[in-house]
Structure 1
Amino acid sequence: MPGTRITFLDGQAGQPQALERVIAHVRRQLDGPVGDRLRHVRRPLLAGIGASYAALALPVEVLRRHGVPAQRVLASEIEAGLGGFDTDLLIGVSQSGRSSETIAAFRAARGVPTLAVLNVTPSSLGALAGLTVDLGNEPDSCASTVGFTGTVIALDLIAGLIAGREGDAWDGVPDQAHAVRTRAAHTIAALRARAARCVAVDCVGSGASRVTAEEAALLLREVPRMPAAASVTRNYLHGEMESAGNTLHLVFGCGREIALARSLSAAGHLTLLVTTARVKASENLAVVRLPDTAPGARVVLETVVTQELVAALSDERNVPIESIVFINDDTKEGGVVVADFEHSAPVAAL
């Protein structure tokens, strides 16, 4: 069953209200048998593909910080089974519930309990899962807006239960998302023309912000069609930054990331720093400051800034946001569903 498609801009506009619904919906599901089961999990393995894989960096970070051994893996790497993994719960993420790699991984996970995290229900992945948590069939854009940020919320709440965390930090975040988008739009308006002329984008972050760096690189490729790559902050310092030149640098964080952003901008490279710290903008350095909040909420707010950036770059580069260059018929179970692309202008199919 395909989900309801909306445009990227509509997804941005309605995101605060959608996040309110997702928070309430997921909390209700976890306040029952599913939540009771999750409290006994000790060795989770998390699998996904594309944006879903990026989102999994958050629960891994949350769980490890609470002493729970956790790892994420590309679903395509466990299609033949879970040999080599010691896990008591396979958590698979697919917003559509149709990702062929994640479905294959669930089919191969014989004897291992499974939990599917979905937006669309019912779905093929949900039918295979022993447990499910869904976002409530929220309408989403083809290059995901609400589906992605909603998945981040669900994964944080799930990780919190497994870790034994008291409460969560999601109250008030939808209102913060609206305020952050307004602030980001003002900052991005001043740099969009120059940014659109850049030949590539480096997206850098650490900890939970690895989620945003990876999602940003994906959105930059999908929406304004700019070559982009994601890097972990400390790894970026070990040679990866040497290729800077007519490049845009999107840096997330408030630790070593601040000095990194200053170094890049001082060398003449356009840099956008998204941070909770008080950092003064300067020549070549733009700053969007976020409220100081928990890691999961910060990822959602960083993503809101990223969405605003890619929408502006798409407009500046005259690339229609909903246009799709390649539609691969083997990435979703059942092949291409025309309704998934009702707002799109496909160019090619493989």
Structure 2
Amino acid sequence: MTYRSAIARQPDQFRHALEVVRPQLRKLDLSQFKNGTLVVTGIGASYEAAAVVTGELQRRGRRANTWRAVDLVEPGDPGDSIIVLSVGGRSVEPIAALNVHSQLPSLAITNEGNDPLSRAASTAIRYESGLDSLPSSIGFTGSLLAGGLLVDALGGGESFNWNDIPHIASEVLKTSAKKMARAGEIFRDQRAIDCVGAISAFGTAGEACLLIREAVRVPAGASDTLHYLHGPMESMDQATGILIFGDGREVRLAQELAEIGCAVLLVTASELPHDHKTLTVVKVPPLQNRVARAIVDILPAQLLAAELSDAAGLTDVPFRYSQTDTKVAMDETETQI
């Protein structure tokens, strides 16, 4: 599965995931997850997806915190129940976290469901995203979609018409694609790229950072918007770039950095900013549901990563650093992802 083909396949995959996840949620007893403090966890891109889901839970009035899975591998009292995201369901740290906190109700969200993490959890749902690319595209957005549907199930009703997400995503991909030649030229040869957003968009920024590191092999870092103003932006200059997600202080930040010559891609629902100098603006719908917004926000970042990867001659190149101790071994009954 090539990276660009996986990106393009996401709207169709969302339709399939809706058909797969909804019946599962209707059958599950979620009563143990409807009270107390929710711990939402994952590692790598799944941690960033967890941060997005936590933001929507908090918007809906739930006590919820995002924990890195590595911080849950020792005994403690993190909360009352655990939601864990992992595309393949074989990452060592989330499995260890559930084993250490086996006294807590836990729910795993994975791609296929027939995996060690799903078996370690009290209950599980799958979203069937199918084969993914390197770096991940469908796996990340599939996790988000399943997480968004779960939040609605826990909250007792939908705050967003999820049937609209395939069409919305398709339109955002088309809009974004028209901006990529400009953005790709502006971002080409930047020595480092920051990614910035607030609340759930901080998770989106974290995923964008991973895409840049994995697909383009350029150093990248993620920061919360207001935290970024307190020092981290001091290193920015004409040799650096930034991806910004948001509609508030993010707009002014994008304009300020473009004025000093930074390469800037702003993903926003604000009507105010327009392409200017080194600023490229991608407009997205003003979705209140933070998970739905994260799904559409990450699409321009995926396309930019593909554009820069092509320019660097790294299109669909395998990762250089293969790890041997981050996944548990598969048995013969499992499906390879």
Shift of 1:30: 1.1
CA contact (8 A) 1:224 1:313 kept: yes
2:254 alignment partner in structure 1:
261
Amino acid at match of 2:102: R
Aligned-pair CA distance for 1:229:
0.4
Matching residue's letter, 2:226: R
Q: Can you list the C-alpha shifts for 1:90-121, whole angstroms capped at 9, x where unaligned?
A: 11111101001111111111311111110023
Alignment partner, residue 347 of structure 1 = none
Contact 1:39 1:164 in 2 (8 A): no
Which among 240, 259, 281 is matched to residue 275 of structure 2?
281
CA distance in 1, matches of 2:16, 2:68: 29
- Given that 1:26 and 1:134 are in contact with CA atoms closer than 8 Å, whether structure 2 keeps it comes out as yes
| Aligned equivalents of 1:39, 1:199: Cα separation in 2 | 44
Equivalent of residue 55 in structure 1, options 37, 49, 54: 49
User: In structure 2, what is the Cα distance between the partners aligned to 1:182 and 1:198?
Assistant: 25
Aligned position for 1:111: 103
The question of whether the paired residues in 2 share the 8 Å contact of 1:16 and 1:177 is answered with yes
- Give, in angstroms, the shift of residue 217 of structure 1: 0.2
Unaligned ranges ≥5, structure 2:
none
Q: Alpha-carbon deviation of 1:39?
A: 6.0
CA separation in 2, counterparts of 1:65 and 1:190? 35
- In 2, Cα distance between the equivalents of 1:107 and 1:39? 18
Unaligned runs of 5+ residues in structure 1 are 1-5, 342-350
Residues 96-245 of structure 1 mapped to structure 2, 5 A cutoff:
96-136=88-128, 138-245=130-237
Which letter maps to 2:290? P
Partner of 1:24: 19
Instruction: Report the secondary structure of 2:85's partner residue.
Output: strand
Identity level (%):
34
Distance 2:317 2:156 in 1: 41
Alpha-carbon distance in 1 for matches of 2:292, 2:28? 25
C-alpha distance in 2, partners of 1:40/1:191?
Answer: 43
* Residues 152, 38 of structure 1: alpha-carbon distance in 2 compared, 3 angstrom cutoff: farther
Task: State whether residues 202 and 231 of structure 1, in contact with CA within 8 Å, keep that contact through their aligned partners in structure 2.
Answer: yes
Asked whether the 8 Å contact 1:157–1:168 carries over to 2, the reply is no
Q: Which runs of 4 or more aligned residues in structure 1 lie more than 4 Å from their structure 2 counterparts after TM superposition? A: none
Give the number of aligned pairs. 331
| Matching residue of 1:73 | 67
Query: What residue is the counterpart of 1:321 in the other structure?
Result: 316
- Given that 1:39 and 1:163 are in contact with CA atoms closer than 8 Å, whether structure 2 keeps it comes out as no
Q: CA deviation at 1:320?
A: 2.8
Question: Is 2:85 the partner of 1:90?
Answer: no
Deviation string, structure 1 residues 141-173 (Cα, Å, up to 9, x no partner): 231111110101111221223234444332211
CA contact (8 A) 1:204 1:250 kept: yes
Q: C-alpha displacement at 1:192, in angstroms?
A: 0.9
RMSD: 1.9
Contact 2:43-2:69 at 8 Å conserved across structures: yes
The aligned counterpart of 1:348 is none
Greater mean alpha carbon deviation, residues 230-239 or residues 179-188: 179-188
Contact 2:129–2:142 (Cα < 8 Å) also in 1: no
> CA contact under 8 A between 1:12 and 1:145: conserved in structure 2?
yes
Instruction: State how far apart, in whole Å, the 2-side matches of 1:214 and 1:137 are.
Output: 21
* Paired letter, 1:72: T
- Which range is displaced more, 219-228 or 106-115? 106-115
In structure 1, how many angstroms separate the alpha carbons of the residues matched to 2:91 and 2:33? 27
Q: Could you tell me how far 1:89 is from its partner in structure 2?
A: 1.2
Q: Give 1:7 shift.
A: 2.2
- Alignment pair present for 1:64 and 2:51: no
SS of 2:152's equivalent? helix
For residues 16 and 260 of structure 2, the distance between their equivalents in structure 1, rounded to whole angstroms, comes to: 44
Deviation, 1:38, is 5.7
- Scaled by the length of structure 2, the TM-score of the pair is 0.93
Q: Are the aligned partners of 1:8 and 1:322 in contact in 2 as well (CA < 8 Å)?
A: no
Amino acid at match of 2:68: L
Closer, same or farther in 2 for the Cα pair 1:166/1:192, shift >3 Å?
A: closer
Contact 2:197 2:245 in 1 (8 A): yes
Q: Tell me, what secondary structure is at the counterpart of 2:162? A: coil
